[in-house]
Structure 1
Amino acid sequence: MPRLRLETFVPGATPADCFALSLSVDAHAASLAHSGERAVGGVTSGELRLGDTVTWRAVHFGIPFRMTAAVTAYEAPYRFVDEQVAGPFARWRHEHLFTAVDGGTLMVDVADFAAPLGAIGRAVDVLVLERYMTRLLRRRNAWLAERLAGAVQRGGRAGAV
């Protein structure tokens, strides 16, 4: 089962701003607009909280997917976890960590996932999904960091999309 760990430094931003924007359904959809990602069930706008679910619809590899995720841990403003409760993965768990560091916040993503279908799924994990998910999360994080840094430069709050 692949385990991704990505670090993104966000200059000038606080853990609270990073935490809030990372939990924004609207920011998630905007950051992954290239895949047509949109919320179609559960919480479909605003900021997620502990126990909330959201069902996403997106197109990846030219195939439409639906995934329902739940916020299963919530320790504002330093950590939350979302996990798939229904969808294409045999397992999806994504931990988000936010730590104040000199000059800003370090966002850390730890994603554990597995494709279905046993040995075939493990091959897909290694040959395709690990690289694809890394690129997807990096793209999302770059969008978040740009949005947050821009808000800091404008002297405003970063939580709004």
Structure 2
Amino acid sequence: MTTIQLTTLIHAPIKACFDAARSVDAHLSSAAGTHEKVVAGRMTGLFETGDIVTWEARHLGIKQRLTVEISRMIEPTFFEDKMLKGAFKSMRHKHHFLEENGSTIMTDVFEYETPFGILGVLFDKLYLDNYMRKFLQTRNFHLKELLERV
């Protein structure tokens, strides 16, 4: 299993950061480079516990679908989404929020397993880990820009 942990300091209140991180619209605009869209589930607004959404995007030159469930939520400090169906063997994304001195520390813990045994592990080490890290960093930078602009 691969774990990517990213911490982003956002100069905005915790509730605003929490809501932006669970916003369908903010996610779509942050993932514009992969032509991401919702093909099933909540199409707009804020995700809630139990929501199931299927995303379609182009990654590695291939159109892919990923179905996730918002499995846990403790507003405004935590939510988690986990893969129900997709290219990973398993995937879980934990979103943590901590308010400190009027700013918010947003921490992502993204865990996944690749399929295809040793070939999947090799692909992860050579390419996928870095690709996913950059994808998440782009998303977080987009949220930071969006929230600090206000």
Aligned equivalents of 1:76, 1:127: Cα separation in 2? 37
TM-score, with normalisation over the residues of structure 1?
A: 0.91
Structure 1 residues 76-133: Cα deviation after superposition (integer angstroms, max 9, x where no partner): 0000000000111101100000000124100000000111111111111111111001
Matches within 5 A, 1:71-82: 71-82=70-81
2:103: which partner in 1? 104
Q: In the alignment, which residue of structure 1 is the partner of 2:142?
A: 143
Letter aligned with residue 76 of structure 2: P
Q: Does 1:20 align with 2:19?
A: yes
The aligned length equals: 150
**CA deviation after TM superposition for structure 1 residue 73, in Å:** 0.7
Query: How do residues 1-161 of structure 1 correspond to structure 2 at under 5 angstroms?
Result: 1-11=1-11, 13-151=12-150
Segment of structure 1 superposing worse, 134-143 or 39-48: 39-48
Mark the runs of 5 or more structure 2 residues left unpaired by the alignment: none
Between the aligned residues of both structures, percent identity stands at 37
TM-score norm. by structure 2 comes to 0.98
CA contact (8 A) 1:2 1:126 kept: no
Instruction: Flag as ranges the 4+ runs of structure 1 deviating above 4 A.
Output: none
What is the alpha-carbon distance in structure 2 between the residues aligned to residue 52 and residue 38 of structure 1?
16
SS in 2 for 1:44: coil
- Answer yes or no: is the 8 Å Cα contact 2:13–2:102 preserved in 1: no
C-alpha separation in 2, matches of 1:14 and 1:92: 28
Unmatched 5+ residue regions in structure 1? 152-161
- Code of the residue aligned with 2:20 in structure 1: it is L
SS in 1 for 2:48: coil
RMSD: 0.8
CA deviations on 1:18-74 (whole Å, 9 max, x unpaired) are 111111111101001010011110111111000001100000111000000100110
Letter in 2 for 1:136: F
